Structure 1
């Protein structure tokens, strides 16, 4: 039994797997946080752009001047 306990304590085969699981979970968590931040920023920028473009007026470029009736 004592030999089993010593071998179990010295066995490090699963330690690398645990490291990779923790590292992968951290990367996934950061990706989710970044996605939320990017989505909020993009949504706000789209809304601001829509408001700006909606407030613009379209003029008549190159249209002839209106006849004022002065004759000519």
Structure 2
């Protein structure tokens, strides 16, 4: 009988349910961040190259 009571208490305990929700939400946010980073990387690289070129070109003119 004691084992059955322990099992019922374990089944009704929801204290870890919030943790599972947060893990799923965090995983989704990280996944979206990776997708956005991969999408924007070429544009950011090109913009950084343009800035570097402008800095080099304008460094000759004091």
TM-score range normalised by the length of the shorter chain: 0.5 to 0.7
Query: C-alpha separation between the residues in 1 aligned to 2:43 and 2:25?
Result: 27
RMSD: 1.8
When the two structures are aligned, how many residues end up with a matched partner? 48
Runs of 4+ in 1 over 4 A off after TM superposition: 44-47
* Structure 1: runs of 5 or more not aligned: 50-72
Q: With structure 2 as the length reference, what TM-score do the two structures score?
A: 0.65
3-state secondary structure, aligned to 1:42: helix
* Structure 2: runs of 5 or more not aligned: 51-62
Q: With structure 1 as the length reference, what TM-score do the two structures score?
A: 0.57
